[in-house]
């Protein structure tokens, strides 16, 4: 199953940005973790990061057209971008929202995500391991779809 791991603003700064919150893994390390995990789960994973909202919207639209799965860390867009939320609502494949930190234990403005309501599931506060869990869930859903195909 084609799976996009899409990362929003500031995530390209992993390893140097607030290491007490986001850890020491670099963005390159996160990409490697996602690609390795995806391969283990039999997924065709492509990892991308952008600080430009219009670029994220184009990627989400393309994923919707492809019926691809998406693992999304929308970063700060989680809390206010209705454009990102609406693009996520168009997805026809599973959407797992991931946050490295526990957004509910941080500043009050981070406690709510406008994306969560249209996500298949949400993982937060488990560090970059949350990406592995999200990819495992996507693989589980793909296997479940394959096992029920043709039974209708």
Sequence-distant (≥ 6) Cβ neighbours of residue 116 within 8 angstroms: 78, 97, 122
Q: Is 73 annotated as a binding residue?
A: yes
Q: Which domains does the chain have, with CATH numbers?
A: 2-147 (3.40.50.9100)
Summarised one tens digit per residue, pLDDT across range 55-77 is 999 999 999 999 999 999 999 99
Summarised one tens digit per residue, pLDDT across range 21-61 is 766 789 999 999 999 999 999 999 999 999 999 999 999 99
Q: Is 112 annotated as a binding residue?
A: no
- Strands in 95-99's sheet, in edge-to-edge order, are 44-49, 2-7, 69-73, 95-99, 121-124
Active site (catalytic) residues: 22, 99
pLDDT at 41: 97
Q: Is 101 annotated as a binding residue?
A: yes
């Amino acid at each position: 199953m084609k799976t996009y791991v899409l990362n929003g603003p500031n995530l390209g700064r992993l390893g140097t940005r607030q290491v007490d919150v986001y850890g020491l893994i670099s963005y390159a390390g996160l990409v490697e973790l996602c690609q390795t995990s995806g391969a283990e789960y039999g997924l065709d994973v492509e990892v991308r990061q952008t600080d430009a909202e219009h670029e994220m919207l184009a990627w989400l639209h393309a994923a919707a057209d492809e019926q691809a799965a998406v693992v999304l860390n929308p970063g700060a867009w989680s809390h206010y971008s209705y454009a990102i939320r609406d693009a996520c609502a168009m997805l026809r494949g599973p959407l797992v929202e991931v946050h490295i930190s526990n957004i509910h234990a941080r500043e009050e403005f981070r406690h709510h995500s406008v994306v969560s309501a249209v996500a298949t599931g949400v993982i937060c506060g488990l560090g970059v391991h949350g990406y592995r869990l999200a990819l495992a869930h996507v693989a589980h859903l793909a296997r479940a779809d394959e096992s029920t195909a043709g039974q209708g």
